[in-house]
Amino acid sequence: MGKPTGFMEFQRELPADRSPLARIKDWKEIHLHMPEEKLRTQGSRCMDCGVPFCHQGKLISGMASGCPINNLIPEFNDLVYRGLWRDALDRLHKTNNFPEFTGRVCPAPCEGSCVLGMNNPAVTIKNIEVSIIDKGWDEGWVVAKAPAKRTGKRVAVIGSGPAGLSAAAQLNQAGHNVTVYERADRPGGLLMYGIPNMKLDKKEVVLRRISLLEDEGVKFVCNANIGTDIPAEKLIKDYDSVIVCTGATKPRDLPIEGRQLKGIHFAMEFLSANTQAVLDDSPRENFITSEKKNVVIIGGGDTGTDCVGTSLRHGCVSVCQLELLPKPPNERAANNPWPEWPKVYKMDYGQEEAAAVQGSDPRIYTTTATKFEGDGNGNVKAVHTVQVEWTKNEQGQFVPKNIPGTEKIMPAELVLLAMGFLGPEQPLLDALNIDRDARSNILAEHEKYTTSIPGVFAAGDCRRGQSLVVWAFNEGRGAARECDRYLMGSTNLP
């Protein structure tokens, strides 16, 4: 490293965020930029650690540890420290097709496994990554690079989310003619309609990269629901290969009393309609507003956080999140050692905003909903809750058990279900007649991605189940590699 003692001389520092009370008045990204000199200082904190766990990309205890796409993190940290930004960008693009996405929305498992993080605050890897790519765009270094020659092979990618985009980008660079089919009105999948604009700007970040892919030769066909608008067998017939990257978009429901009441929605219905309204500058018929409503969000993950931030921007009366799990500790527990992902308490942007408005973290831990109460006119007006404790059942599994006497009634004119996803939607898979595993995901081995249909590959959440955006990039690149091998007999794709 250029400054071997940097980690001893400098403390971790991140750029400031916009004030919570100011940023809830618009849909602009919440993060500010850090001056270049400070970024170089943060790059110097990267240790000459010998074995850099940050880019190992492994699953430990079922959680990501290190970077799933194996970013060459110590190398680009050192290049930033030395002011070699163009070289840092080239190094970053070797492993990451879209660092402006991961640099904004990835939870940074790389930082959780940073060697410095064993006993000091980790290196600010995520912020350095996004700063590299943002500088690359600002300086005009990121330009369309069409392949030198075409192979004549045609590949269809179903789904334009993270896995689909990375597969398309790689296969296009290999010289194949790639067409991406997307059922929504705009490409991007989860990146477009699943993540709010204040976390990932659609026009300035997502559509900018998609436009570049188009300039490089990738074709996007929107409003195309394969299996409905276009027969699935037609794609298999018309293309030399097909990659299915539809995601895991079947939401987990909560079938308790009162579920049929109006005002109870899945989180993605709420978030997607909101992003459409932001992009269109006006709401569509499916728009769901939290304005002047008490909002109860059931689910404490990232999607729940996004619902908090969106509800506040609409002008809700109040917002809270029901979290079934206990509140995490402030420091790593003994059973959560480095380099596992640190399961510790933190306030994300939505909780920070709610605390600024309401005075406290909106999450209510170890609590579940037991009933939705109506107003007599078919609308939800309250959520009945109870606290739970986690105990072992006869099989030795930890399960939640209701605690008598802890029942409460919370006012709610809008309830958002953000409890995760059960797997991919099945109509397309039925139309393809493709084999599935016990969890209803497409049956395809990791690192091979081959399905039960010759020439058809699967990648991302539709294969592995709900996961991180960065794992989808990993899988999209991997499926592209194996698809290229299938088409050409060998491959040079990483």
- How big is the CA angle at 431 (ends 430 and 433), to the nearest 5 degrees? 60
Distance CA 420, CA 303 (A): 8
Specify the pairing of strand 363-364 against strand 318-322: parallel
Distance CA 328, CA 245 (A): 33
Distance CA 470, CA 102 (A): 7
Q: Which of 59, 413, 113, 430 is nearest to 246 (CA)?
A: 430
**pLDDT surpassing 80 at residue 44:** yes
Distance CA 366, CA 326 (A): 5
List CB contacts of 490: < 8 A, sequence separation 6 or more.
Answer: none
Of the pLDDT bands very low, low, confident and very high (cuts 50, 70, 90), residue 50 is confident
Q: What is the mean pLDDT of residues 195-223?
A: 98
**442 within 8 A of 463, measured Cβ to Cβ:** yes
For residue 94, what pLDDT is reported? 96
Distance CA 366, CA 318 (A): 20
Distance CA 9, CA 4 (A): 10
For residue 435, what pLDDT is reported? 97
Local structure of residue 116 (DSSP, 8 states): G
**pLDDT surpassing 80 at residue 51:** yes
- Say how many CA atoms lie within 13 Å of 48 toward its Cβ: 6
Condensed to tens digits (0 to 9), the pLDDT of residues 412-460 reads 999 999 999 999 999 999 999 999 999 999 999 989 999 999 999 999 9
CA distances from 464 to 179, 421, 458 (A): 23, 12, 9
For residue 425, what pLDDT is reported? 95
CA distances from 114 to 82, 121, 414 (A): 21, 9, 41
What percentage of the chain exceeds 90 in pLDDT? 96
CA distances from 384 to 60, 155, 354, 407 (A): 37, 51, 22, 7
Distance CA 56, CA 78 (A): 18
For residue 479, what pLDDT is reported? 98
Burial label for 280, CB within 10 Å (0-12, 13-18, 19+), is exposed
* Amino acid symbol at 149: K
**pLDDT surpassing 90 at residue 241:** yes
**113 within 8 A of 66, measured Cβ to Cβ:** yes
- How big is the CA angle at 247 (ends 242 and 253), to the nearest 5 degrees? 145
16 backbone dihedrals φ, ψ, rounded to 5°: -70, 150
**pLDDT surpassing 90 at residue 82:** yes
For residue 419, what pLDDT is reported? 96
- Does domain 253-419 match CATH 3.40.140.10? no
93 backbone dihedrals φ, ψ, rounded to 5°: -70, -15
Same topology, domains 6-139 and 253-419? Answer is no
For residue 48, what pLDDT is reported? 85
Condensed to tens digits (0 to 9), the pLDDT of residues 279-303 reads 999 999 999 999 999 999 999 899 9
What percentage of the chain exceeds 70 in pLDDT? 100
Report the CATH fold assignment for 6-139: Fumarate Reductase Iron-sulfur Protein; Chain B, domain 2 (1.10.1060)
Residues 484, 487, 490, 492: is their CA dihedral positive or negative? Answer: negative
Q: Which of the four CATH numbers 3.90.1200.10, 3.50.50.60, 3.10.129.10, 3.40.50.720 does domain 154-249+422-488 have? A: 3.50.50.60
* Amino acid symbol at 450: T
Burial label for 453, CB within 10 Å (0-12, 13-18, 19+), is middle
Domain ranges of the chain: 6-139, 154-249+422-488, 253-419
Condensed to tens digits (0 to 9), the pLDDT of residues 132-150 reads 999 999 999 999 999 999 9
| Token pair belonging to 378 | 């078919």
For residue 3, what pLDDT is reported? 87
**pLDDT surpassing 80 at residue 2:** no
**pLDDT surpassing 90 at residue 336:** yes
Condensed to tens digits (0 to 9), the pLDDT of residues 84-136 reads 999 999 999 999 999 999 999 999 999 999 999 999 999 999 999 999 999 99
**pLDDT surpassing 80 at residue 307:** yes
| Token pair belonging to 35 | 């001056």
Q: Give this prediction's pTM.
A: 0.95
- How big is the CA angle at 64 (ends 303 and 321), to the nearest 5 degrees? 25
